[in-house]
Amino acid sequence: MGGTQSEHKLINADGRTRYDGRKFDELRPLSIQAGVLKRADGSAYVEWGSNKVLAAVYGPREVHPRHMQNSARAIVQARYNMAAFSVGERKRPGPDRRSVEISKIISEAFTSVVFVEQFPRTTVDVYMEVLQADAGTRCAGLTAASVALADAGIPMRDLLPSVASGKVEGVVVCDLNKDEDTCGEADVPCAILPRTGEFLLLQMDGHLTYDELMQAMEYNRRACKIINEVQKEALRKKYSIITLENNVMKEEKPAEGRPEDRDQIGRPPESRLEPAQQGGA
Amino acid sequence: MELDVVSDLRKDYINRLFSERKRIDGRTPEELRPVAVETGVVTSACGSCRVKWGETDVLVGVMVEQGTPFPDTPDRGVLVTNAELIPMASPYFESGPPRPESIEFARVVDRGIREAKMIDLAKMCIKPKEKVYLVYVDMHVLDFGGNLFDAGLLGATMALNSATVPAKRFGYGEDFKLPVEHWPISITSVKIENGLLVDPNLDEERVAEARLTVTTDENGDVRAMQKGLVGKLSFEDVQSIIKTSQRCGAELRKRLKLGAD
Amino acid sequence: MDEDEKEIMEDNGGKAGEPPAPRDRGKGPCPPLPTPVGPKDEVWRGRGTQDGSCEKPAQPGPEGTGGGPTEGERPKGDLPEGQEPERGGEPGQMPEGGNPQPYREGRYEQSRRDGGGGGRGRDRRDGGYERRDGGRQERREPGRPPDVDRQLVLPGDDLGTHVRGGFGTYKDGESVYAACLGIRSTRDGFVSVIPLSGKYIPKRGDFVVGKVAEMTPSAWVIDLNSPYVAPLPGSETPWDAQFGEASKYMTVGDTVLVEIRDINEIGRVSVTMMGPNLRKLEGGQTIDVDATKVPRLIGRGGSMIGLLKRLTRCHIIVGQNGRIWLDGTVEDVTIALAAIKKIERDAHKLGLTDAVAAFIEGMRKELDEKRAKKEAGDDAREKNAVLQDRAERLEVQEEE
């Protein structure tokens, strides 16, 4: 990295905020929508700062070519791609080496989270398209893909949030934007399991002392908790009409002996998809 | 699939050994394998180095060409790092287009060199906007014995350190030694069920849950990191691995007297 | 990032001197290196059933299973009229006897514990409190109100400590967590999650509507609207199909009603057509819906499907795999398809049965009016187009 760009100050003179007004540990505005595509089994759309990233999941489904399949578990194939119009200068379409590397590490992250042992000989295909890039695209892609996986009904241990902190003009800050990434001194993208705080993706490039690195990782950990809430909210919003908060007992309690209960195909009576009192979202 | 079966047996064995602080090849969990380096092995290259790191064998060649700079850095040279996992190196390597593993390997090594600012690319400019030197680092893996990252970066840095820029050939004056300033070293550790092992050999890498490569400079500052494999790393694991990398990196520097010319 | 953009440009064959020669991209990818299965913490329960019935834990151990939940209302699919579902679906019994666990989870758990009986080894660490009581007690956290049930849960959500996890959950330490997005449900002492989306994973005993996707020398390969296909060998059909003549009986594209005989640890599915009313389905149409919606489509005691059949006058077969076969007049089938789509869309809404009845009635009225206006000799296709348009417009209205 290195400041070959303009010399504008990225850290304000007050020593507490960045040039875009954020505090050092503040995230950029982030919004997520779940279930935005019709054909995909699961999908999500993320707007994060000026990032616009779309994620879609197909699967589990048959593996092609056949020799790629693993007879003991599903394989997770993530494909990260930047659209030609997503960066300042037109990028030639198709995977470049950077996309290949990012796809690889995201596949690895999800392979750990998804219960792959439940679907032998299948693949879970995760597609992430960066439509507009503003640094942290792999984090935005991963974050969106997590939501898409849940939307597709794929069993997972947890949702997986992702963020990149770094260092700018000597200060460790959370969630780099494009200028900060380009002109800054370090970039630490990661993906952290919310419940346990474990890293499923971790990279770093730049120049950090041990303490600075620990600080960046701590920012990441905190930020991931917040991002996780946004992920959950997105899913709740889509599926919320099924939330059954006010399920005053419309149905009787399930009595074991009753013939009509036994006849009912599929599920015990109280677990059918009966809605809440309010229709609300 | 038979590999998986072998792995399970191996995995148990490796974990059992670990509880006695031992490893298959007799090392302790914090010990590096023996490392041997030899520079100047390929005279057709501007610089070269062969690294034998445990059972891993990597040959790195550096070629310097001339060309046009990137438009956003008109006065800086260009560094390109590439890796070849040639089929002879392992029964798992096939010929064909670069696999994700080889791309990741090349990019992580590249990151180490670039972020440590090992080469001052500003000194590699011939004529701004028109002509700069292009430095190609090509890593050829001859034998895959586990842990390519560390061997690759060491080979690359030693090859760069011993490289000559063939200015005369291009008509730009006398040949000169490639200007090298800092010296990154990467040390990779893996997490197995019972703990952490530094510098995994092939078996250990194959049974490992997670892997973390940490590239440090001569001050112990971190220049690059890359987590690999599909397992999870706790915050404490990461801290521990970084500290190990700092320590082993310093040790290796001393052992090989790196940066001491 | 500087470096990455430069990589991008270089791959473009851009301005950098001599870019690396483009590689021959014709070769296929190399087989993946085996990755060891890592995590030591948990086992995901459930084997892809869509019905939400709480799973019985793995093989009976030497102490016996100690009760546990009933296998419960295992989905039976809808059989053609006049048939009662036959195969072991009574509550309290394990279907087919023996261990129906197709996946490794039981073994996985066993191998980590003292090798003792069944998948209950983990619970044994709790002092075995659950095994002996017939499985009826649910130990919940004190103070947790009962209506936490039926809430939407997301992967990773905490479902409680010292509870037993059923379908769609996993355990880590003492707590049970949701493994998929769905509705939390407690029954017979098991907390499970009923998934709201997901693919159909074949389960032994299910009746499914399949399509012949391929033919091999020894079998028809059946697409099950699932990540898994199933071979249907000649021996599992009532026909005596000789090699080379198989297409006389059934060929690619045909629709069949088959039963899942088994699915093993590596997801190999076997099906059979030997059974009452299992057969090739002639004529008609099929429509695929989300398999998780099948119970809603069938309704309590078959109420919804019965209503559909009655009002649309169609012959309808609902497969557990979410594929539905129907047959009737053009008009009736169009109405039925629209009604099914509506049910899939509005599965969560109250009073759906009445809404569907009203919907169908509405469509019929439209048709009658249109027919009354036109004289005999209408172009059948035009009528169909009108119906389709109406169906779509009604759907759009519903969405609003």
Q: Is residue A253 located within the same domain as residue A187?
A: no
Same domain, C51 and C156: yes
Query: Are A263 and C11 an interchain contact pair (Cβ–Cβ within 8 Å)?
Result: no
| The pLDDT of residue B258 | 74
Overall domain count for chain C: 3
What proportion of chain C, given as a percentage, has pLDDT over 90?
A: 37
More confident residue, B79 or C44: B79
pLDDT of residue C148: 64
Q: What's the CATH superfamily of B2-256?
A: GHMP Kinase, N-terminal domain (3.30.230.70)
For chain C, give the number of residues.
400
Q: Cis ω on the peptide bond leading into residue C95 (within 30° of 0)? A: no
Closest CA to A274 of C317, B156, C299: C299
pLDDT at site C376:
58
Query: In this structure, are C46 and C191 located in the same domain?
Result: yes
Q: Are residues A52 and A164 in the same domain?
A: yes
Contact residues, chain B to chain A, C-beta under 8 Å: 1, 4, 72-73, 76, 98, 100-101, 103-104, 106-107, 111, 114-116, 212, 217, 220-235, 238-239, 242-243, 246
Query: What's the average model confidence in pLDDT over C50-55?
Result: 37
> Which member of A1, A104, A112 has the closest CB to residue B232?
A112
Q: What is the largest CA-CA distance in chain A?
A: 78
Query: A260 and A229, same structural domain?
Result: no
Q: Is A133 found in the same domain as A66?
A: yes
Q: Are B219 and B42 in contact (CB under 8 A)?
A: no
CB contact under 8 A, A206 and B243: no
pLDDT, tens digit, 9 for 90 and up, residues C219-266: 899 999 999 999 999 899 988 777 777 888 888 999 999 999 999 988
* C42, pLDDT greater than 80: no
Point out the domain boundary residue: C167, C196, C225.
C196
Range of the domain at A60: 30-242
In a domain, C353, yes or no: yes
Region C272-301 average pLDDT: 92
Q: Is residue C70 part of a domain?
A: yes
- Examine the domain organization and report whether C66 and C148 are in the same domain: yes
Question: CATH number, domain at C176?
Answer: 2.40.50.100
* CA gap B101, C31 in Å, rounded: 12
pLDDT in tens, C346-379: 887 778 889 999 999 999 888 888 888 876 556 6
Question: Does residue A20 lie within any of the structural domains?
Answer: no
In this complex, the residue of C16, C18, C24 whose CB is nearest that of residue B70 is C16
pLDDT digits (tens, 9 = 90+) for A220-263: 999 999 999 999 999 999 987 654 433 322 333 333 333 333 33
Q: Same structural domain for residues C222 and C362?
A: no
Does C334 have pLDDT greater than 60? yes
Model confidence at B261, pLDDT cuts 50, 70, 90, reads very low
A278: Cβ contacts below 8 Å, ≥ 6 apart? A246
pLDDT above 80: residue A110: yes
Residue C54 pLDDT: 36
d(CA A9, CA A25): 18
User: In whole angstroms, how large is the CA radius of gyration of chain C?
Assistant: 26
The residue to which tokens 């696999």 are assigned: B99
Looking at the structure, tell me whether residues A105 and A189 fall in a common domain.
Answer: yes
| % of chain A beyond a pLDDT of 90 | 71
**Judging by beta carbons within 10 Å of its beta carbon (0-12, 13-18, 19+), is residue A139 exposed, middle or buried?**
buried
Contact criterion met (CB < 8 Å) for B221 and A209: yes
**Whole-structure pTM value:** 0.77
- Greatest mean pLDDT among A62-71, C67-76, C171-180: C171-180
Asked if residue C49 and residue C190 are part of one domain, the reply reads: yes
Token duo for residue A10: 């990225």
Any domain includes A153? yes
Give me C131's structure tokens: 């095994």
Pairing of strands C315-318, A199-208: unpaired
Beta strands in chain B (DSSP E): 35-39, 47-53, 56-67, 78-85, 125-127, 131-143, 164-165, 176-177, 185-192, 195-198, 210-216, 222-228
A14 located within any domain: no
Mean per-residue pLDDT, B102-109: 96
d(CA A204, CA B236): 17
C101 pLDDT above the threshold of 60: no
Considering only CB atoms, which chain B residues are within 8 Å of C16?
A: 67-70, 78, 80, 134
Same domain, A210 and A281: no
Q: Which of residues 187 through 206 in chain A touch B, CB cutoff 8 A?
A: 188, 193, 196-206
pLDDT of residue B45: 92
Yes or no, beta carbons of B69 and C15 under 8 Å apart: yes
For chain B, the domains span 2-256
Which of A72, A197, A206 shows the shortest C-beta gap to B115?
A206
Cβ atoms within 10 Å, residue B110: 24
Residue ranges of the alpha helices (H) in chain A? Answer: 97-113, 137-151, 178-183, 210-239, 259-263
Q: Is the pLDDT of residue A201 over 50?
A: yes
* A276 and A138 within one domain: no
Question: What is the pLDDT at residue B257?
Answer: 82
Which of B230, B239, B241, B244 to mutate against chain A (most A CBs within 10 Å)?
A: B230
The residue among B245 and C369 whose pLDDT is bigger is B245
Q: Which domain holds residue C138?
A: 40-196
Note the pLDDT of residue C207.
Answer: 96
CATH number of residue C257's parent domain: 2.40.50.140
Indicate if C238 and C220 belong to the same structural domain.
Answer: yes
Q: Is C55 a member of any domain?
A: yes
Q: Which residues of C touch A155 (CB under 8 A)?
A: 44, 46, 155, 168, 179-180, 195, 198
Rounded to an integer, the average pLDDT of C19-46 is: 39
Does C139 have pLDDT greater than 60? no
Compare C114 and B203 and report the one with higher pLDDT.
B203
Which residues does A258 contact at the CB level (< 8 Å), separation at least 6?
none
| pLDDT at residue A43 is higher than 50 | yes
Q: With a cut of 0.90, is the ipTM above it?
A: no
CA distance B58 to B52: 7
Tokens at residue B233, please? 């790393």
Nearest to B185 by CA among B227, B156, B208: B156
C165 lies in some domain: yes
Q: Are A212 and A263 contained in the same domain?
A: no
Name the domain boundary from C168, C196, C224. Answer: C196
Chain B: residue nearest A4 by CA? B73
C385 and C247 belong to one structural domain: no
Give a yes or no: residue A81 inside a domain. yes
Which residue among C281, C311, C340 closes a domain? C281
